[in-house]
């Protein structure tokens, strides 16, 4: 593996020398997300494998090219899991892509996001230097929290090499319940239930049905189930997988798919939607213009991302304020002074 | 600009009583919770509006005057240590809870609001703010964010970074930044994560939006005594291997058990070498299921005595000793020095053994309190500041302990921050490449380098000097603070 790192370093050095750009690539499962980026492909799938996994320490460290399925299988063997339930969007999805995209799945509102579980990273910056941030321990406030900053940075700050993640035990019991109700009542229910100790671990509203997952100790799940009522869902794991992987029929469309992130108690928004994360994530299928959607969502205190669309869009992500954009540019310059990694993948400006 | 002119300028921004410059008014601000380091600031300002904060920063930026922000001053690493030629910006007047939304479960608060006050305000709605550093009755949320504070419940509920949704902050250039969002995503880089634990070096926080959680219906704690630290450590691993994430999982060694028991009479086992406190919270059904499982594991791991809280008063009594461990140790020694390293839990036996050796070698007693669930160790080094040389020896042994934490794959600070205290150990934790990047991150927010300069990130020069100090250490206790 040291040879591979040496190869990556040479590629980076050559790009610096030639003033060319690199496009970091794993399996390509999330290449639809964000802006297209130019440059020579730096394929990192060969840099793979679990480096260490200690169930009693609740920590796994793996190379960025490791397929997520391999990590999840190793964890499942010890009845542990990635609590943020990352979407794969393809059978080859890698750990590096999972961290770089920063996308989390159905459990996000209740267990936290990718970045909440990142404990440490080893990375290569835009000068070819290998740097270590964070570590393999739960609590670490030495220096700035660069490892969490890298989650969701879409490879624009550097090349991820090794990542350490906190893992959690698989809940002792899980049950999924469905309730027929209208959208407005569902939003209220998701918020009111989240304010009570009910062991919620996922929520989804679509087409007049609110689906809710409870996770925890067997006795607790049993008690909450009796309290809430509803109808038990068979084959629930498959249901949540279909939602997380966007294989649910809601997502089968050629119309642009918008990801509206709003405060969870935001009232109903017009349009065809699937709601997740207790009301905080509204998937919207719509042909409306980016400007009008963004104005609407910004007024609600949220952001709108064009998640999937048949036609490339120049600004899929919600625009940054001028002050924030300036900080982003400077940070990009700190990590990647020659501007070689995934330039323009997130915003056209850096 | 000279001092009288600066005072005059500040008085155009602030009311007269919000600019302090007389020696007797400045004195209370000379240190934070790390009182071994003291420095009276040039001036103290007490703004109460965001516009005042912005104008103070703009003025200081223009006049090249360094600024140090300060919350309640309970920090334990000297992060709010003033500068002799700097302005100390106190956020003490920012103490309003701006709004609390029980349906969306969020509270917007000013940075000077006490940690415990948030939970008190949320209690009426059955909600609370989870991170609970032991100073929570005094420490404020702005400082909690700056330090990314933990507490005894963070294995299950996370640190400050996991419980803050949004920040408003001003950079040294007077620019307002909104980081994070009341929704669960925010556009661009995760600058919110970067600000948590940035120790007041990137911006001055003026508003914090936190997540509130439903208060668990019930909590119970099991106290288990062990004949050796290694056995207690193994039991912690077994509990986690069994798929349990306890709400709290704390360990104390013999010296701290005795000190705490003498102080609060919690009923701790005085014959034990180590003791665990394992807490379960949730619904009554969940708690009884988890407590039963933990009792079985603790017995299997050889506990010599086991006691489970019978009611809330009993539970609070069992915790009282742990929560008062620091002052309790303060009663058995004229002074103590609190360290804050994190280690992979499996290394506990080795680390405690080495700490005992260092304790012998330096002739100073060390009591150990341990957030066992997340590997965060607080060795308390007992010394007497009136004995010549003892503080230096305490500092030295502390530094050795932190370097030991790095050596076993851990870190020099789990929750107290680097501040000025552990700046030398940053040279042991990181290589020059990482330190360079930290400096560049600082510059991205604060190109002039005027905000809390000299903390957290050592200069390359300092690390070179520190390397030499390994040979003849102990001579530099109060080095001047370099600017960068």
- Please list every residue in chain B whose beta carbon sits closer than 8 Å to the beta carbon of residue A142: 411-413, 418, 422, 426, 429-430
Contact between chains at A143 and B434 (C-beta distance less than 8 A): yes
- With a CB cutoff of 8 Å and minimum separation 6, the contacts of B1 are B9, B63, B65
DSSP B110-163: -TTSBHHHHHHHHGGGTEE-----TTTTT-BHHHHHHHT---TTHHHH--GGGT
Q: If you average pLDDT over residues B289-303, what whole number do you get?
A: 97
Contact between chains at A142 and B238 (C-beta distance less than 8 A): no
SS3 at position A13: helix
d(CA A274, CA A210): 10
**How close, in Å, is residue B360 to chain A by CA atoms?**
28
Is 70 exceeded by the pLDDT of residue B484? no
Contact between chains at B443 and A330 (C-beta distance less than 8 A): yes
**Nearest neighbour of A139 by CB, restricted to B159, B171, B243:** B159
Of B125, B129, B93, the C-alpha closest to B111 is B93
- Please list every residue in chain A whose beta carbon sits closer than 8 Å to the beta carbon of residue B444: 327, 330-331, 333-334
Is 80 exceeded by the pLDDT of residue B472? no
Is 80 exceeded by the pLDDT of residue B205? yes
**Nearest neighbour of B104 by CB, restricted to A131, A263, A317:** A263
Of A306, A316, A310, the C-alpha closest to A346 is A316
Q: Give the model's pLDDT for residue B481.
A: 33
pLDDT interval class at B470 (50, 70, 90): very low
**Nearest neighbour of A194 by CB, restricted to B105, B191, B412:** B105
**Nearest neighbour of A217 by CB, restricted to B101, B290, B456:** B290
Q: If you average pLDDT over residues A116-144, what whole number do you get?
A: 96
Q: What percent of chain A has pLDDT over 70?
A: 100
Contact between chains at B437 and A58 (C-beta distance less than 8 A): no
CA geometry: angle at A216 spanning A213 and A219, to 5°? Answer: 110
Of B393, B389, B395, B386, the C-alpha closest to B421 is B395
Is 70 exceeded by the pLDDT of residue B94? yes
- Please list every residue in chain A whose beta carbon sits closer than 8 Å to the beta carbon of residue B416: 141
Q: If you average pLDDT over residues B47-56, what whole number do you get?
A: 98
Contact between chains at B411 and A56 (C-beta distance less than 8 A): no
The domain locations on chain A are 2-169, 173-308
Is 80 exceeded by the pLDDT of residue B67? yes
Q: What percent of chain A has pLDDT over 90?
A: 97
Max Cα distance, chain B (Å): 71
Q: Give the model's pLDDT for residue B468.
A: 58
**Nearest neighbour of B102 by CB, restricted to A109, A195, A219:** A195
The chain A residue lying nearest B445, using CA atoms, is A327
Is 50 exceeded by the pLDDT of residue A182? yes
Kindly state whether A190 is in contact with chain B, defined as any CB-CB distance less than 8 angstroms: no
Q: If you average pLDDT over residues A41-60, what whole number do you get?
A: 96
Element (H, E) at A51: strand A50-54
Whether A203 contacts A212, CB under 8 Å: yes
Is 80 exceeded by the pLDDT of residue B478? no
**Nearest neighbour of B245 by CB, restricted to A168, A320, A331:** A168
Contact between chains at A324 and B342 (C-beta distance less than 8 A): no
Contact between chains at A330 and B444 (C-beta distance less than 8 A): yes
Q: If you average pLDDT over residues A119-128, what whole number do you get?
A: 98
Contact between chains at A323 and B175 (C-beta distance less than 8 A): yes
pLDDT interval class at B473 (50, 70, 90): very low
Q: Tens digits of per-residue pLDDT, B113-124? A: 999 999 999 999
* CB-defined contacts A:B, below 8 A: 270
- From residue A94, give the alpha-carbon distance in Å to each of A43, A54, A88: 12, 20, 8
Which of B129, B133, B187 should we substitute to test contact with A (largest number of A Cβ atoms within 10 Å)?
Answer: B187
Is 90 exceeded by the pLDDT of residue B402? yes
- From residue A345, give the alpha-carbon distance in Å to each of A36, A65, A152: 6, 19, 11
Q: Tens digits of per-residue pLDDT, B418-431? A: 999 999 999 999 99
d(CA A248, CA A130): 41
**Nearest neighbour of B289 by CB, restricted to A112, A218, A328:** A218
Kindly state whether A131 is in contact with chain B, defined as any CB-CB distance less than 8 angstroms: yes
pLDDT interval class at A246 (50, 70, 90): very high
Kindly state whether A129 is in contact with chain B, defined as any CB-CB distance less than 8 angstroms: yes
SS3 at position B440: helix
Q: Give the model's pLDDT for residue B466.
A: 81
Residue B449: CA count within 13 A, CB half-sphere = 13
d(CA A92, CA A74): 16
pTM of the model: 0.95
pLDDT interval class at B471 (50, 70, 90): very low
Q: Tens digits of per-residue pLDDT, B12-48? A: 999 999 999 999 999 999 999 998 899 999 999 999 9
Contact between chains at B189 and A129 (C-beta distance less than 8 A): no
Burial grade of B15 (CB within 10 A; 0-12, 13-18, 19 or more): exposed
Q: What percent of chain B has pLDDT over 90?
A: 89
Of B429, B196, B484, the C-alpha closest to A133 is B429
Q: Could you report how far apart the first and last alpha carbons of chain A are, in Å?
A: 30
Kindly state whether A308 is in contact with chain B, defined as any CB-CB distance less than 8 angstroms: no
Whether B357 contacts B300, CB under 8 Å: no
DSSP A268-335: P-SSEEEEEGGGTEEEEE----HHHHHHHHHHTT-EEEEEE-SS--S--SPPPPHHHHHHHHHHHHHH
A2-169 is classed in which CATH architecture? 2-Layer Sandwich (3.30)
CA geometry: angle at A343 spanning A339 and A349, to 5°? Answer: 95
The complex scores an ipTM of: 0.97
**Nearest neighbour of B183 by CB, restricted to A56, A196, A261:** A261
B-proximal residues of A, 244-283, CB under 8 Å = 259, 261-265, 277, 280-281
């Amino acid at each position: 593996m040291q040879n591979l790192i040496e190869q990556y370093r040479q590629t980076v050095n050559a790009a610096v020398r030639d003033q060319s750009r690199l496009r970091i690539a794993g399996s390509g499962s999330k290449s639809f997300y964000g802006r297209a980026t130019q440059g020579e492909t730096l394929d990192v799938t060969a840099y793979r494998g679990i480096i260490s996994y200690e169930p009693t320490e609740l920590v796994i460290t793996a190379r960025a090219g490791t397929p997520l399925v391999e990590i999840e299988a190793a964890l499942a063997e010890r009845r542990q899991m990635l609590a943020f339930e990352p979407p794969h969007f393809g059978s080859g999805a890698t750990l590096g892509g999972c961290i770089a995209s920063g996308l989390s799945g159905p459990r996000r509102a209740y267990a936290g996001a990718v970045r909440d579980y990142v404990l440490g990273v080893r990375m290569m910056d835009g000068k070819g230097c290998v740097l270590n941030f964070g570590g393999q321990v739960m609590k670490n406030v030495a220096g700035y929290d660069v490892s969490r900053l890298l989650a969701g940075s879409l490879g624009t700050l550097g090349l991820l090499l090794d990542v350490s993640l906190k893992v959690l035990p698989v809940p002792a019991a899980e049950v999924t319940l469905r309730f027929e109700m209208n959208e407005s009542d569902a939003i209220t229910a998701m918020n009111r239930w989240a304010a009570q100790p009910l062991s919620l671990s996922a929520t989804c509203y679509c087409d007049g049905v609110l689906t809710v997952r409870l996770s925890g100790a067997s006795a607790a799940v049993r008690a909450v189930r009796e309290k809430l009522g509803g109808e038990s869902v068979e084959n629930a794991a498959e249901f949540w997988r279909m939602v997380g992987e966007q294989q649910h029929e809601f997502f089968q469309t050629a119309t642009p798919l918008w990801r509206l992130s709003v405060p969870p108690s935001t009232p109903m928004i017009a349009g065809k939607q699937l709601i997740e994360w207790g009301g905080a994530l509204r998937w919207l299928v719509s042909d409306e213009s980016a400007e009008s959607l963004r104005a609407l969502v910004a007024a609600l205190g949220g952001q709108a991302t064009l998640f999937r669309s048949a036609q490339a869009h120049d600004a899929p992500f919600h625009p940054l304020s001028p002050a924030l954009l300036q900080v982003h540019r400077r940070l990009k310059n700190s990590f990647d002074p020659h501007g070689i990694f995934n330039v323009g993948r997130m915003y056209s400006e850096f | 600009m000279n001092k009288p002119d600066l005072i005059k300028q500040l008085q155009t921004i602030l009311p007269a009583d919000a600019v302090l410059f007389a020696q007797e008014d400045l004195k209370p601000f000379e240190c934070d919770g790390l009182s071994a380091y003291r420095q009276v600031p040039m001036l103290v300002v007490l703004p109460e509006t965001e516009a005042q904060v912005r104008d103070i920063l703009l003025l200081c930026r223009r006049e090249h005057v360094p600024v140090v922000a300060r919350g309640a001053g309970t920090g334990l690493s000297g992060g709010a240590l003033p500068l002799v030629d700097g302005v100390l910006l106190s956020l003490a007047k920012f103490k309003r809870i701006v709004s609390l939304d029980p349906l969306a479960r969020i509270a917007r608060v000013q940075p000077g609001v006490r940690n415990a006050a948030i939970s008190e305000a949320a209690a009426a709605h059955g909600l609370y703010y989870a991170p609970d550093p032991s100073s929570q009755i005094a420490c404020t949320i702005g400082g909690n964010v700056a330090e990314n504070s933990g507490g005894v419940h963070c294995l299950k509920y996370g640190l400050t970074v996991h419980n803050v949704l949004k920040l408003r902050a001003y950079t040294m250039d007077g620019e307002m930044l909104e980081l994070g969002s009341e929704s669960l995503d925010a556009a661009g880089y995760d600058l919110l994560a970067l600000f948590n634990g940035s120790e007041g070096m990137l911006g001055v926080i003026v508003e914090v939006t936190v997540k509130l959680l439903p208060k668990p219906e019930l909590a119970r704690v099991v106290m288990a005594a062990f004949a050796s630290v290694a056995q207690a450590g193994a039991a912690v691993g077994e509990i986690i291997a069994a798929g349990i994430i306890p709400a709290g999982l704390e360990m104390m060694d013999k010296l701290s058990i005795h000190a705490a028991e003498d102080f609060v009479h919690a009923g701790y086992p005085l014959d034990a070498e180590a003791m665990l406190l394992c807490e379960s919270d949730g619904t009554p059904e969940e708690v009884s299921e988890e407590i039963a499982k933990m009792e079985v594991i603790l017995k299997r791991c050889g506990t010599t005595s086991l006691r489970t809280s019978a009611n809330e008063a009993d539970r609070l009594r069992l915790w009282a000793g742990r929560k008062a461990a620091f002052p309790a140790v303060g009663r058995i020694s004229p002074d103590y020095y609190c360290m804050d390293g994190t280690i992979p839990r499996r290394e506990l036996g080795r680390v405690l053994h080495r700490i005992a050796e260092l304790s012998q070698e330096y002739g100073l007693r060390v009591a150990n309190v341990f957030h066992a669930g997340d590997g965060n160790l607080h060795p308390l080094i007992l010394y007497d500041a009136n004995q010549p040389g003892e503080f230096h020896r305490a500092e030295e042994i502390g530094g050795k302990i932190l370097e030991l934490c790095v050596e076993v794959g851990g870190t020099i600070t789990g929750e107290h921050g680097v501040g000025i205290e552990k700046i030398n150990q940053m040279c042991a934790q990181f290589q020059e490449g990482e330190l360079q990047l930290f400096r560049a991150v600082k510059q991205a927010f604060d190109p002039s380098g005027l905000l809390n300069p000299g903390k957290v990130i050592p200069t390359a020069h300092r690390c070179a000097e520190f390397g030499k100090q390994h040979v003849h250490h102990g001579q530099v206790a109060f080095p001047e603070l370099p600017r960068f």
